[in-house]
């Protein structure tokens, strides 16, 4: 017999909150009860679009008599406080990355959540990409042999607003952190060292705020295998995301995804469709898939597939990578 529907509150009704609201409303095992946002009009708009009600206060959104779980999609600087509130209320929590931009504070909050014993998951949604998950299964099967080299590509189509970049924590913490997580997930190993080189090539204002828009991060795994991640904020050809794993017995990849599969043949020329115009169009299905995995864990009373500790470890790599970027020196990663 199916468990009762999971009653959710959504915290945050901005762009990503509205994406999650759509996933919550569409999931057959979810009852989206309410939406809270600092802007009541925004909460009311998202609520009305998805059959929920706007929460008038955080107390209402975190009321364990009304909700079983919260989806924390508010601004980064509120994630830690909302996680702590969920733990104190005894309700499950799915949270956008990062837990907090300050790693020490994030560790304190995770310890508090773990002591409370609530189910909690970081929304590293790229793990739930269909092709990435297929690649993971190939790696886990052992058919590639011993891993020697992992190549990951993260290339965005356009530079985010400078005002966003100022508070993002930098490219390593904001963009590349997803791929630090993918590296850990694919290999089943925690990198021990990182060396990063980067440049600001698309806009001089990126350098003015101490950030980069083009970088290469090299990670060393405990057994000596290497991971290379190239991250670019601005391309002229669309959103490009690729994962490749080279082993002693073969290679497998989750390749770049085109917007369509149509190819036109005219005389000696073949014209194919290009890549997705933006990152969201490419990764949109993964948000619903990540939510579904969290709900399944709640229904089965099993641990969520991406733990808060996974979030901390990816963030620890990002911290060491940021230090390497600014010092020009390889850095040992401390978890």
- The residue with tokens 């996933």 is 23
d(CA 176, CA 238): 17
User: Does residue 142 come out as left (phi exceeding 0), alpha (psi in the -120 to 50 range) or beta?
Assistant: left
pLDDT(223) > 50: yes
d(CA 164, CA 274): 28
> Is 148 within 8 Å of 140 (Cβ atoms)?
no
Tokens encoding 276:
């997705």
pLDDT attached to residue 278? 85
For the segment 161-189, the average pLDDT, to the nearest whole number, is 96
pLDDT tens column, 250-298: 999 999 888 888 888 889 998 888 988 888 888 999 999 999 999 999 9
76: Cα separation from own chain's centroid: 13
- The residue with tokens 């990764």 is 283
d(CA 56, CA 71): 17
173-177, 180-184, 277-281: the lowest-pLDDT one: 277-281
Element (H, E) at 199: strand 193-199
For the segment 82-93, the average pLDDT, to the nearest whole number, is 98
> Is 316 within 8 Å of 103 (Cβ atoms)?
yes
pLDDT tens column, 25-56: 999 999 999 999 999 999 999 999 999 999 99
Cβ count near 286 (within 10 Å):
19
Q: How confident is the model at residue 1 (pLDDT cuts 50, 70, 90)?
A: very low
d(CA 200, CA 171): 11
Considering only CA atoms, which of 52, 61, 53, 57 is closest in space to residue 30? 52
pTM, entire model: 0.94
d(CA 279, CA 156): 6
Backbone angles phi, psi at 172, to 5 degrees: -65, -40
Instruction: List beta partners, residue 258.
Output: 275
d(CA 121, CA 15): 20
pLDDT attached to residue 277? 87
Share of the chain above pLDDT 70, in %: 99
Quote the mean pLDDT of the chain. Answer: 96
Q: How confident is the model at residue 2 (pLDDT cuts 50, 70, 90)?
A: very low
For the segment 119-129, the average pLDDT, to the nearest whole number, is 97
For the segment 105-132, the average pLDDT, to the nearest whole number, is 97
pLDDT(3) > 80: no
Cβ count near 275 (within 10 Å):
19
59-63, 123-127, 256-260, 286-290: the lowest-pLDDT one: 256-260
Cβ count near 218 (within 10 Å):
17
């Amino acid at each position: 017999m199916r468990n009762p529907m999971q009653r959710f509150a959504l915290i945050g009704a901005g762009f990503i909150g509205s994406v999650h609201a759509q996933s919550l409303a569409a999931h057959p095992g979810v009852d989206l009860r309410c939406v809270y946002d600092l802007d009541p009009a925004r909460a009311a708009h998202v609520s009305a679009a998805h059959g929920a009600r706007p929460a008038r206060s955080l107390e209402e959104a975190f009321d364990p008599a009304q909700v079983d779980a919260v989806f924390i999609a508010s601004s980064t600087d509120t994630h830690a406080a909302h996680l702590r509130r969920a733990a104190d209320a005894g309700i499950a929590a799915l949270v956008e990355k990062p837990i907090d931009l300050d790693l020490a504070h994030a560790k304190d909050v995770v310890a508090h959540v773990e002591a409370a014993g609530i189910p909690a998951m970081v929304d590293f949604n790229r793990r739930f990409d269909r092709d990435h998950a297929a690649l993971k299964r190939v790696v886990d099967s052992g058919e590639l042999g011993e891993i020697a080299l992992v190549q990951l590509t993260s290339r965005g189509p356009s530079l985010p607003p400078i005002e966003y970049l100022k508070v993002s924590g930098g490219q390593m913490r904001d963009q590349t952190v997803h791929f630090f997580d993918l590296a850990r997930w694919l290999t089943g190993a925690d990198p021990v060292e990182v060396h990063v080189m980067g440049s600001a090539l698309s806009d001089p204002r990126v350098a003015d705020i101490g950030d980069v828009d083009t970088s290469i991060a090299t990670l060393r795994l405990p057994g000596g295998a290497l991971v290379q991640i190239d991250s670019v904020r601005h391309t002229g050809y669309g959103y490009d995301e690729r994962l490749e794993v080279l082993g002693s017995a073969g290679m497998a990849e989750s390749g770049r995804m085109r917007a369509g599969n149509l190819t036109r043949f005219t005389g000696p020329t073949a014209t194919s469709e290009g890549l997705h115009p933006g990152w969201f169009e490419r990764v949109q299905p993964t948000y619903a898939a990540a939510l579904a995995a969290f709900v399944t864990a709640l229904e089965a009373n099993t641990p969520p597939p991406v733990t808060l500790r996974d979030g901390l470890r990816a963030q620890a790599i990002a911290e060491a990578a940021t230090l390497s970027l600014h010092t020009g020196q390889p850095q040992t990663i401390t978890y």
